[in-house]
Every structure is written in structure tokens, then in C-alpha cells.
A and B are shown apart, each in its own frame.
Chain A
Amino acid sequence: MAVNAAEAAVPDAASGNSIWSRAWQNHAPGYLFLLPWFIGFFGLTVGPIITSFYLSFTDFDLLTPAEWVGVDNYVRMFTNDRSFAASMRVTFFFVIFSVPLKLAFALGVAVLLNRGMKGLPLYRALFYLPSLLGASVAIAILWRQIFARDGLVNDVLSIFGIVGPSWISNPNYSLWTLIILSIWQFGSPMIIFLAGLRQIPQDMYEAASLDGAGKWRQFVKITLPLLTPVVFFNAIIQTIEAFKSFTPAFIISGGTGAPINSTLFYTLYLYNEAFSFFRMGYASALAWFLLLLIACFTAFSFLTSKYWVHYDD
């Protein structure tokens, strides 16, 4: 549609009307239809973002007007805040372990499902289900039950004579429980991997197997390289998701990051600062630092991508 409009605008320039007014006339209905979205975007997204940037330089407790404190909030973050450091450790640990494991698992299942088995749509739907339920409160509560001392996981372990710990209330395991929960929700990267696998031409595999390449060799030499753009996409999306992870930790620890701050995710800490201790200014600064952190990670991924992502051209 945009192309058509541009083509229409060019000949009219000669007939006296400016390109811009013609273009406006052509686009006006489009913008009109977009108006509700624009209002929502600027009113509910851009507005609060700008406000939070301003608030990050203030001391604001919601009850009294914000007080300008300059960069104090940012300074405190790095010099005098144990909980900030603790939440950073927890969050990085979570990102570093949950993202690769989740992607590997998603890719593995996608490869298995790609073999054209019977009842494929059913399996796809089943595996995708946890992702649909997503980071919901219900799932987190269910998870709490499954990993309790007398929960399902320990029941299964006891069949093999293993006495399991109380996964969610032991600081050595609680974060791993959340990582497993995250891996379990592998459905959405899996669907994307599946679509990527379908794009790989079958004749490449046929040629490779004629040359005597085994399944594993085909996977490493054909599937993986051709799939790198999809891996790249999934990695970025999942990393951002992992950094923002909140609900499961909030529910499982009752909002406290317990035991001993072992599940004190960055966003959970931010939430507590804002809504438990009413430090909106400081929480805004924390939010902006998270944004910066995610931006840096994403930029880094893009910069390194040219060394390992192969596009088909």
C-alpha cells in the first residue's frame, strides 16, 4: 500500500499539488484508523517512559511531590546497595543458564517433531501449551506444589530411592527450580525453530547422505548453520524475556525473593523498592538501568552475529 501511494504521488507533483499534501490525502484514512493506537502508544507507553526517566532523578514516595536529587539514585545503586548486587547475581545466573538450556531443548524437540511423525499437530499444540499459559500465576502456584518437599518431583525421585530436598525453600535449589520452569516453557522458540527447519531444502540432506554423512554430521554441517538466523532471533527474544522474568519468582517466594534472596530477581527487587518501600524514584532508576543493560546485551549480540549467523545469500 505504501508503494502504491508513493507511485501515485510522483506524477501529481507536476500538476501543482505538493507531494506532501497529496501523500497526506492518501494516507489520512490510514492515520485516522491508527489514531487510537497512537493515543494509547503516546499516552500509555511513551508518556510513562519519559515520566519514569524524570523520576529516576528524584526522590518520590507517591504521597509527596517528587524531589530532585540528581544522579544520587544511580550512585547509590553501584556504591551502597547490597540487594542490588544480590539481584544482579540472581538475574545473570538465571539468564546465563535458562536461555541456552531452553533453546537447546526447544531445538531438540523441534528436530524430533520435524520428522513428519503421526499426530504432529497434536504434539505441536501440546508442547506449545506451557508457553501459552506463560508466566501465569496459576502455573507458578502449580510449580510451587510440584516442587514442594512432598510434591510430585520428590514422589518420582523416591521411586528410585532418592530423598529429594524441598526444592523451592532451599537456597541451593530454588533458583534452579525457576530455571526448570523457564525451560519447560520452551514452546514458542520451538515453533519458530520448527518453521526454520521447514525452510531447509531436503535435497541438501539427500546429497549429504549420498556422500556418506551420518545424521549427526548432517545436523552439525547443514541444519545448524542454516538455522543460525533463527537461533539468533530466538536467543535475543529469550534473553530479553529472561531479564524481565518476574511472576514465577514473585509467586514462589511470596514476593520476598526468599530463601535468602536466592530468587530475588532484578524485577522483583525493583517492584519491592517501588511498591513495598515506596521508593518510586529509585525504582525508576533501576528500571532505566535494566533497559540499558538489555540494550547493551542486544547490541553485543548484533555485533558478534556476523561471525556466526549465516544468511542464505
Chain B
Amino acid sequence: MTFRMPRRQFLMGTSALAAAGAFGLRPAFAQDEALRLIWWGGQARADRTLAVADAYAASTGTTPPEGEFLSWNDYWPKLATQVAGGTAPDVLQMDYRFIVEYATRNAIAPMDDYLGGVLNLDDFDEDQLEGGKVDGKLYGLSLGANSVAMLVNTTAFEEAGVAVPDRDWTYDTMREIGEAFKAANIRGGMTGMSDGSGSEPMLDNWIRQRGKPLYTAEGKLGPNVDDMVEWFTMWNEFRDAGYINSAEDQALDTGAAEVSMVALNKAAMIPSNSNQLVIHQSINPDTLTITSYPRIAAGVGGGHYRKPSQFWSISGASQNKEAAAAFLSYFVNDVEAGKVLGVERGIPCSAAVRDAVAPTLSEQDQIALNFVANLGDLLGPLPASPPNAAGEIDTSLLRVLSQEVGFGGRSAEDAGKFFVDEATAILNRAS
């Protein structure tokens, strides 16, 4: 985490804060006060973001925006606390999962008033613009398009003598790959793929190919008991055959890139996202690439979608909304800014920026860009944003159930029924 501020300003700021705090007041920030930004992500993202902030300040002659960044897990508690305390930064990074929640509670402000004014989005992808809207108003500015993608360790595939799957591969291909990795027995029993039964994006992709959403536009659960039983049964079969990691190995993956099955050398593929190729490559000595999630049967399309990887939103309590909007306009439209940012947050949503950036990208970034730009028949419609309790269903239901089934504590039939019952109860409670 960094916090950049000139020292004098820091002293003035803190003493003003202390004084205001003593009287129970919120500090009133002057108009020329630097913008404050907050986002989740690693050091690479921070360096790029702050470089653009400095460039913006240099080109406009204003005070450079101040930035603060945290990991995903630490970010949401901090942001929610700041919003509750009325001290949220002017510009904050927002996720598809939370945008409805924040927008409906006025924690973030609509940007429509600045459109055509300081905020120029003429060149912006229409579908990415739609993704940032709540009730028809623009609450989030997509910072890049993204898609789920299978992360592949190509070096391991070469060692095992198996061809890296192309975009036509299916769950049946997975059986062949699993069998081949078993036979090759490389790196102490590396499997073809990790256990995806507890991966919400993978379930989402699988159920979408069957023509159902994971969550309907009304915030109801899409899959029924039969779907879920089939889901768990399929992964049981893979696990029993040794095509995927054992439950004991899989449980080592607690979410961070450093402990993924690919990072731990236990699987040659894991379900991931297109923009995460960069971070995974940075911690893996082997050559990595990405491909699509498997199809449920040959020729079945859909499943994937171009998701706004993250948004910039303007805090509802910001005193500098117009200045914030002007900064965001620069952030997504300026070609030089685009070159600095690359595709670290996803594929740029402005066509002009995309064209300017493409030739400057590293090999890994080009792979990600090409993948998202050419999804072809795998590209389906953007689903409705997930309901409030989706996070809880993911972490405390799907993941726990997949482990219970994996360790043999629950049958696939049992787990399928339990998932639907419990997820429905959670959704009802949250609405």
C-alpha cells in the first residue's frame, strides 16, 4: 500500500482532520484539493495508475491525484468502512458484483451529467458502457473488457506430449487430456486440470452453455437440482479417474494466485480470467497461455462473455465530482495513458486507444487481447449483474460443498439438492 502526498500537505491535512474530528465535523476539502483514488490490485497496477495520474496533472497543471491500493480481500471492508464514515475517496474502483449495491445506496454517483461535457465517451464500446449502467444511469466506467479463460501451462503440456487445447475443445477432450497426463506422470503426478467443481465462473459458463443463467435478471437461481447433481457427478467422475486434483490438493488453493494449482505445479490448467495471465506468468517460470473454457459438447457456443473487468466510479460523497469525471475521461481516452496502462486491467474500451496500444504490448498481453477480441461463437450475451448474496453463495456454499463432495462427505445427489435449497434460502434472506 502506498500513500503519496507532499509532506506539508500531509501535515496540514492531518491537523485539519484532527481539528475537524474533535468537533465531530467532516473536513471540508477545498476545490483545488488533489483527487483521491483507491483501487485493488498489485504493485504493477499501482505503478501504471500513478504514472497516468502524474501525466494528467502535468498536462492540466493541477495537483497530482493521490492513490491508495489494497488487495481484493482488504479492499471491500476498507471501502465500505470509508463510505459509512463519509470519507470515501473521490474515485474508486468498482466491481461488477458490487456496483448495483453501491449505486442503489447512493454510495457512488451517476456520471450522466458530465457526458458530452468533461467526460467524453464517443469512442467507447457500447456493450462496455451498458455494463456500467444501473437503472439506465451510468455509475461505472469500464476499465477493460475481460473474459473467463482457461490458464494453460504450455511447458507442462509439451513435457506430457499433449497438444494444448484449442477453442473447440470439450469436456470430453478433458478426459483425453486427463488420461494423457496420468500416463505421462510428469512432475510428481501433475494432472491435466484442477478441480473446477467449486469454481463459480466455471459453473456459470457451463450452465450458460445449457441455456440458463446462473442468476436470472430477477436475482433468482438459474440451475435446478438436476443441473447441479449432474455438475457434481461430472467432477466426481473426473476426480475418481484421476483427471483432476484430489480434494486434499485442491484445498491448498485458497484463492491467491501464488497458491493456485498451476503455481503449485499440481495441474497444467486452471479456470481463470484473461487479464490474470499477466500475474500468473509473473510468478511462474514456465510459459503460460490461455484458451477457452471447455464446451459441453462439440459445436455448442456461448458461455463466455465480455465482462467489464472493473470500473472507475465516482464517490457519491465526493466534493470534486466534475474534476473526477475529467480525470476519468483522460484515463480511458488518452492514447499515451492507454500505452502506460496496457491491458493490465483488461482490453481498453476505446477503439482508438486499443489500436494505439496493440503494437506496444508484450507477448502475454497480446495473447489476452486477441483472446478477448476474438471469442467468436463462444461469445454470449452479458448476463444481468449478480444479486447481493452471490458472493456468499460462492464462498460459503459452492466452495464448501465442492470440498464436502471431494472428500467424500456428501454424494453428488445430496450436494446438488442442498446447493439449490440453500442458495434459494440465501437469496430470499438477502432480498
Contacts and interface: CB of A to CB of B under 8 A. Distances in A.
Contact of B254 (A166, A171, A256): A256
B251 A254 contact: no
Contacts of B391: 276-277
Nearest to B85: A62
Contact of B251 (A255, A259, A274): A259
B248 interface: yes
A225 B419 CA distance: 55
Nearest to A275: B77
A63 B400 contact: no
A228 interface: no
Contacts of B77: 274-276
Interface in B374-405: 389, 391-392, 395-396, 399-400, 403-404
Interface stretch (B9-17, B101-109, B289-297, B363-371): B101-109
Contacts of A171: 251, 403, 407, 409
Interface residues on A, range: 20 to 34
Interface string B225-260: 000000000000000000000011111101110010
Nearest to A76: B429
Given A63-B102, A63-B105, A258 B76 contact: no
Contacts of A277: 389, 391-392
B31 interface: no
Contacts, number: 77
A83 B426 CA distance: 12
Given A62-B81, A63-B102, A254-B255, A261 B248 contact: no
Contacts of B248: 149, 165-166, 169-170
Contacts of A62: 80-81, 83-84
B101 A63 contact: yes
B83 A255 contact: no
B282 interface: no
Contact of A260 (B73, B80, B102, B404): B404
Contacts of A275: 76-77, 80
Interface in B399-430: 399-400, 403-404, 407, 409
Nearest to B188: A150
Contacts of B80: 61-63, 275, 278
A293 B419 CA distance: 32
Contacts of B81: 62
A148 B252 contact: yes
Nearest to A274: B77
Given A63-B101, A171-B403, A254 B395 contact: no
Contacts of A170: 248, 251, 407
Given A83-B396, A278-B80, A64 B251 contact: no
Interface string A269-289: 000101111100000000000
B188 to A, nearest CB: 9
Interface in A228-278: 253-256, 258-261, 272, 274-278
B96 to A, nearest CB: 17
Interface in B89-148: 101-102, 105, 107
Given A63-B105, A171-B407, A259-B403, A276 B395 contact: yes
A286 B247 CA distance: 31
Nearest to A148: B252
A27 B251 CA distance: 60
Contacts of B252: 148-149, 166, 168-169
Contacts of B255: 254, 256
B314 to A, nearest CB: 16
Contacts of A260: 400, 403-404, 407, 409
A149 B392 CA distance: 29
A170 B252 CA distance: 9
A253 to B, nearest CB: 6
B215 to A, nearest CB: 17
Contacts of B84: 62-63
Nearest to A171: B407
A2 to B, nearest CB: 32
Contact of B249 (A83, A149, A253, A255): A149
Contacts of A276: 76-77, 391-392, 395
Contacts of A274: 77
Contacts of B105: 63-64
- Most chain B CB inside 10 Å of its own CB: which residue of A165, A166, A258, A277: A258
A106 to B, nearest CB: 31
Contacts of B389: 277
Interface string B330-365: 000000000000000000000000000000000000
Contacts of B409: 171, 260
A254 to B, nearest CB: 3
Contacts of B73: 255
B396 A63 contact: no
Nearest to A252: B254
Given A62-B81, A259-B247, A276-B392, 18 more contacts: A149-B248, A149-B252, A166-B248, A166-B249, A166-B252, A171-B251, A171-B403, A254-B256, A255-B254, A256-B254, A256-B395, A258-B254, A259-B251, A260-B400, A260-B407, A275-B76, A276-B76, A277-B392
Interface of B: 73, 76-77, 80-81, 83-84, 101-102, 105, 107, 247-252, 254-256, 259, 389, 391-392, 395-396, 399-400, 403-404, 407, 409
The 6 closest A-B pairs by CB, nearest first: A254-B254, A169-B251, A275-B77, A259-B251, A62-B84, A62-B80
